[in-house]
Structure 1
Amino acid sequence: MLHLDLDAFFAAVEQRDKPSLRGKPVVVGGTGWRGVVATASYEARAFGIGSAMPTMEARRRCPNAAFLAGRFSAYRRVSEQVMALAHELSPLVEPVSLDEAYVDLGPTHPGLDAAGVSALAEGFRARVRATTGLTVSVGAGPSKLVAKIASDLRKPDALVVVPADEQRDLLAPLPVRRIPGVGAVTGERLARFGIRTVADLAAADEAELVRMFGKAHGSGLRAYARGIDPRPVVPERDAKSVSAEETFAVDLTDRRELVERARRLVDRVAVRLATGGVSGRTVTIKLRRYDFTTLNRSRTLPQPTASPREIAQAATALLETLDVADGVRLLGVGVSGLTEYTQQDLLAELDEPAAPGEEPGAEPGGAESGGAEPGGAEPGGAEPGGILPQGSTAPYGPPAPARSGWSPGQDVTHDEHGPGWVQGSGVGRVTVRFEGPRTPVGRIRTFRDDDPALHPAGPPVW
């Protein structure tokens, strides 16, 4: 098994495409005061900045870092290139996220020894660098567990191969938190019983672990500690749900405003359902209150739907059941129970006249949303395609635009100056640095934010 992990992926793509940011701290995520860090460059990590940290805390630790909203089209393009290279190694490739995957070499390379695996993996790493300009850390071992742990040991830009007869020696001295399923709470419980390393866990009494954590979890932890992991590589997994959410700059208490925000979220969800050719039966709303308590309500419909009207009706009805008087900081809408079957004529929906004040075909709007749940959200606050299971490679949607219409890090082009990216915007102005992945550090120009010569653009070609 191989575990592939692109190093500081989102930030690395930004540094690749923006010469002025190379070697400097870069933070990708929600840029608002309620934003959350998605990825930090290694230069930013030196200041203690990491994933899921509030953006304001990251700004406090490193005020001179570049804080960017994220460019999902660029990340998706690179991910597709890397996954294509992984499929050249084996047909059994299981994407875990845009920047991470498992590869089972068994079908195409049976009987490889450690030297053969090393040569194969180094060739893959070289092709990734040549194709994308990025580095990838690779771990190899007899199981997904060992491969994953190995890829994390010497990051960034490293290869660690662990033969089967060496895996116990590798695992034994590691902290018990390295084992999947051992988080902060489980780690503290184990520490109270003197179990601090993987070797301690491997030697623990299984009956005691079962008593503490239950049959499946307790036995599973001990098996992992002994290097036993029978999980296969699963090449494809279907999305379980599609969702969109928004974190507000100011707590909202006006129910009418919340209904309008929910309608915009429904529009985004409907587009994603249509793109995936699926519909769903269960509509869910997620509401995070002023005190960070989170409420979820759901309604199952008589038949699957991808209709924005039907989803909005259900979401609005669910919202009516919740008290919003004290303030709402986050709102989300999702559809689950997905199937390719639907009875609606979606073409009729697409031909509906625009609502008053809307242009036909207009993209749903919304303020910049900076909030993100660890492991499930995204830079810029617009979650990539909603809630998807591990292994999904569904397209990531673009981040919600900033209130000025320009997001930090966004690709643009100017009729006179050519391609560049947004360094910042506000008070009616937008500042652009004109450079690209293969240019010198570029010059800076400031324009009115409604300058007709300035246009959004796609990501530059590496």
Structure 2
Amino acid sequence: MIEARGVTEDVGAVYLHCDVDKMYYSVEALESPALADEARAVIISVDPREYPRAVVTTANGVARSIGITSGMSTAIATRLAREQGVEVVYVPPRHDVYSRYSRRLMDLLRTETPLLEQRSIDEAALDWQQHGFAPEPVARLRERILKEIGLSVSFGLAANLLVAKMASEVAKGREDHLCVVGPGEEAAFLAPLSVRALVGIGPKSEARLRGFEISTIGQLAEQPLAWLVEQFGAAYGRYLHHASRGEDDSTLVGEHTYKSVSAEHTFARDTVDRVEIWQRLQAQAQEVSERLRHERLVASEVAIKVRYGVTWETITRQQQGARRGCGGAHAQVVDAATDPADRPARGQARARARRRSADAARVNTPSPKGRGGSARPLEDVEPAGEAVGDVDQAIRGDEHVVELDARTAWWRLGHEVRDLARSGRIGDVHDAQASVEPRDVDHVGIDQAAGPHLVQVVRAESSAA
């Protein structure tokens, strides 16, 4: 007789989404235990008296009980607390400390799974197929994290990544901090939730949906695909159709595979100073450029986003390369020089750069091990030895906020209130997946002293010649 032992049923894909509860505040409370019992509203952010445009990153229970939430303006948070007679304590963010705790958490999680995708400083998705949907292994993992690191985390367990993430949000309100959504239960789990809870729906989309008397995800799931496409466009309409039903075929992305590399900055006060705005943009461009070079990546698109601080109107501009190659990846370069003395030579340098840019770099796009060789926005690149110079693109100084989306590569990003002003020229910027709001764009300029460039010089869209 031949007996097979230890055979388990193939349950298909199983994903565990881990989300740290109030990450910044939790770390500060671990570092300064007195904060854990603080009767005042503790807000992790810069004091608005020092930086009026600061926002709340996270806060303690006292602050949350009076309506203070993450992302809220600290000026508004202060007013709310004052109106309710609650004293506020501002604790400046310490991103180096938070990053250290995050690394410890991710290292611990990697010992429990064959594949982990870090989504942000406090979130990660794990391949959990070996454990199935049993709650006990998750409970043991949570206790281990509490014991070894001291952080409280919430877990969502589901058959796809979208539902696992949303389940982790629901888990934050549960005593055991765990929400399990079994295969086939996705639509029923999502149906009673607010449409705002669906990943990918922001305030504007929520307002539009409520205008159609659609307030829950279940009501959204009842809408015909054709109607959603008509109202929201082909791509977003199809996403809403599938996501509202709990359908998601995305898979985990391994370590060090970026979708975008970005940087952002929020001005402390309104400004109409073109030089100041341009210097801030230069600093962001250099940060993105340095990270791309460090990771030996090349991007297919460069983009800038400008947001007005009063109306929160956001306008974007982006530029894709004119040439596709090596899986669609090629360089985007934004180089800057602000010294007026440099300008007479820029026209001649620009012409030389255009003639030589085509052969300036060799690009390699090997497929990641264990995965299909599909083209991605960012690909590996072997730097060349030739230099390019400066693209002098100033934005009109009436923008209140200049920022680039920072959804990935957080470990080398600062906070939105960090001062990014740095002097010096920029070489080689590859896109962050953000966008630009230029009002004016000056002529392209070249500085022969700039660093190595990758493939092609690109100038952002311009409404001015």
Under a length normalisation based on structure 1, what TM-score does the superposition of the two structures give?
0.62
Separation in structure 1 between the aligned mates of residue 20 and residue 63 of structure 2, nearest angstrom: 17
Aligned to 1:312: 336
Aligned to 1:16: 30
* Match status 1:146 vs 2:198: no
- 1:278 shift after superposition: 5.0
Q: 2:244 aligns with which of 225, 246, 269?
A: 225
Q: 1:52 aligns with which of 66, 71, 91?
A: 71
Structure 1 residues 58, 300: CA separation in 2 closer, same or farther (over 3 Å shift)?
same
Aligned to 1:325: none
1:169-248 paired onto structure 2 within 5 Å: 169-236=188-255, 238-239=257-258, 242-248=261-267
Aligned to 1:119: 136
What is the CA deviation profile of residues 25-82 of structure 1, one whole-angstrom value per residue up to 9, with x for unaligned ones?
Answer: 3222343111112222333211211122111111222352322231111111111122
Separation in structure 2 between the aligned mates of residue 43 and residue 4 of structure 1, nearest angstrom: 25
Structure 1 residues 45, 192: CA separation in 2 closer, same or farther (over 3 Å shift)?
same
Separation in structure 2 between the aligned mates of residue 300 and residue 205 of structure 1, nearest angstrom: 34
Structure 1 residues 190, 249: CA separation in 2 closer, same or farther (over 3 Å shift)?
closer
- Aligned residue for 1:5, secondary structure, equals strand
Separation in structure 1 between the aligned mates of residue 29 and residue 220 of structure 2, nearest angstrom: 41
Structure 1 residues 62, 18: CA separation in 2 closer, same or farther (over 3 Å shift)?
farther
**Unmatched runs of 5 consecutive residues or more in structure 1:** 319-335, 347-370, 378-385, 404-462
- 1:162 shift after superposition: 2.0
Answer yes or no: is the 8 Å Cα contact 1:6–1:136 preserved in 2.
Answer: yes
- 1:87 shift after superposition: 1.7
Separation in structure 1 between the aligned mates of residue 217 and residue 302 of structure 2, nearest angstrom: 42
* Match status 1:95 vs 2:118: yes
What is the CA deviation profile of residues 353-378 of structure 1, one whole-angstrom value per residue up to 9, with x for unaligned ones?
Answer: xxxxxxxxxxxxxxxxxx989xxx8x
- 1:185 shift after superposition: 3.1
What is the CA deviation profile of residues 321-380 of structure 1, one whole-angstrom value per residue up to 9, with x for unaligned ones?
Answer: xxxxxxxxxxxxxxx97754323489xxxxxxxxxxxxxxxxxxxxxxxx989xxx8xxx
- 1:204 shift after superposition: 2.8
* Match status 1:77 vs 2:100: yes
* Match status 1:163 vs 2:182: yes
Bigger shift: residues 145-154 or 134-143? 145-154
Separation in structure 2 between the aligned mates of residue 340 and residue 6 of structure 1, nearest angstrom: 34
- 1:129 shift after superposition: 0.8
Structure 1 residues 275, 17: CA separation in 2 closer, same or farther (over 3 Å shift)?
farther
- 1:2 shift after superposition: 1.0
- 1:277 shift after superposition: 4.8
**Letter paired with 1:92:** L
Structure 1 residues 279, 182: CA separation in 2 closer, same or farther (over 3 Å shift)?
closer
Structure 1 residues 344, 72: CA separation in 2 closer, same or farther (over 3 Å shift)?
farther
Answer yes or no: is the 8 Å Cα contact 2:263–2:413 preserved in 1.
Answer: no
Separation in structure 2 between the aligned mates of residue 135 and residue 35 of structure 1, nearest angstrom: 26
**Letter paired with 2:125:** Y
Answer yes or no: is the 8 Å Cα contact 2:54–2:268 preserved in 1.
Answer: no
Separation in structure 2 between the aligned mates of residue 396 and residue 12 of structure 1, nearest angstrom: 20
What is the CA deviation profile of residues 265-297 of structure 1, one whole-angstrom value per residue up to 9, with x for unaligned ones?
Answer: 556555545554557797766555676666666
Answer yes or no: is the 8 Å Cα contact 2:120–2:407 preserved in 1.
Answer: no
Answer yes or no: is the 8 Å Cα contact 1:304–1:343 preserved in 2.
Answer: no
Separation in structure 2 between the aligned mates of residue 177 and residue 196 of structure 1, nearest angstrom: 8
Separation in structure 2 between the aligned mates of residue 283 and residue 305 of structure 1, nearest angstrom: 6
Structure 1 residues 251, 267: CA separation in 2 closer, same or farther (over 3 Å shift)?
same
* Match status 1:343 vs 2:384: yes
1:19-30 paired onto structure 2 within 5 Å: 19-24=33-38, 25-30=41-46
**Letter paired with 1:90:** T
- Aligned residue for 2:58, secondary structure, equals strand
- 1:9 shift after superposition: 0.7
Separation in structure 2 between the aligned mates of residue 145 and residue 283 of structure 1, nearest angstrom: 27
Structure 1 residues 400, 177: CA separation in 2 closer, same or farther (over 3 Å shift)?
closer
- Aligned residue for 1:134, secondary structure, equals coil
* Match status 1:135 vs 2:176: no
- 1:233 shift after superposition: 1.9
Structure 1 residues 189, 305: CA separation in 2 closer, same or farther (over 3 Å shift)?
closer
Structure 1 residues 39, 197: CA separation in 2 closer, same or farther (over 3 Å shift)?
same
1:303-452 paired onto structure 2 within 5 Å: 311-313=335-337, 340-344=381-385, 387-390=405-408, 392=409, 394-397=411-414, 400=418
Q: Give the number of the structure whose residues are more often strand, by fraction.
A: 1
Separation in structure 2 between the aligned mates of residue 238 and residue 315 of structure 1, nearest angstrom: 37
Structure 1 residues 199, 266: CA separation in 2 closer, same or farther (over 3 Å shift)?
closer
Answer yes or no: is the 8 Å Cα contact 1:223–1:229 preserved in 2.
Answer: yes
**Unmatched runs of 5 consecutive residues or more in structure 2:** 1-14, 323-329, 344-376, 388-399, 422-465
Structure 1 residues 290, 47: CA separation in 2 closer, same or farther (over 3 Å shift)?
closer
Separation in structure 2 between the aligned mates of residue 30 and residue 284 of structure 1, nearest angstrom: 28
Structure 1 residues 186, 387: CA separation in 2 closer, same or farther (over 3 Å shift)?
closer
CA RMSD of aligned residues (A): 4.0
* Match status 1:43 vs 2:84: no
Answer yes or no: is the 8 Å Cα contact 1:283–1:311 preserved in 2.
Answer: no
Separation in structure 2 between the aligned mates of residue 172 and residue 286 of structure 1, nearest angstrom: 34
Structure 1 residues 343, 315: CA separation in 2 closer, same or farther (over 3 Å shift)?
farther
What is the CA deviation profile of residues 232-255 of structure 1, one whole-angstrom value per residue up to 9, with x for unaligned ones?
Answer: 222235345545444333434444
